[in-house]
Amino acid sequence: MMFETREDVTSMFEQFRSVDKVDLGSCRALENHALLVMNALDEAIANMDDEEFLIDMLLTTGKSHRRFDNFSANIFWVIIH
């Protein structure tokens, strides 16, 4: 749904930017990215009792996304809403 309603989010994902919205459900690139996100969330949840690890992991993840053109931290908030 996020890719159907938020063009700013869609434009961030070069690997499936050109995929028709109806085909996103079967897009391998989107599936791979979703698995990466879910693994990161799983790791964050599993380590919630280790504040230092969790903060470092979240900061590292945020910093790694700065390499993308026009990236904004607000994109992370779009995902959870």
Residue 19 φ/ψ, nearest 5 degrees: -75, 135
Terminal-residue alpha carbon distance, the chain: 11
pLDDT by residue (tens digit) across 22-81? Answer: 788 788 888 888 899 899 999 999 999 999 999 999 899 888 888 877 777 777 777 666
Q: What is the pLDDT of residue 11?
A: 75
* Interval 3-10 mean pLDDT: 76
Taking the model in full, what pTM does it have?
0.71
Enumerate the domain spans of the chain. Answer: 2-70
> 16 near 4, Cβ under 8 Å?
no
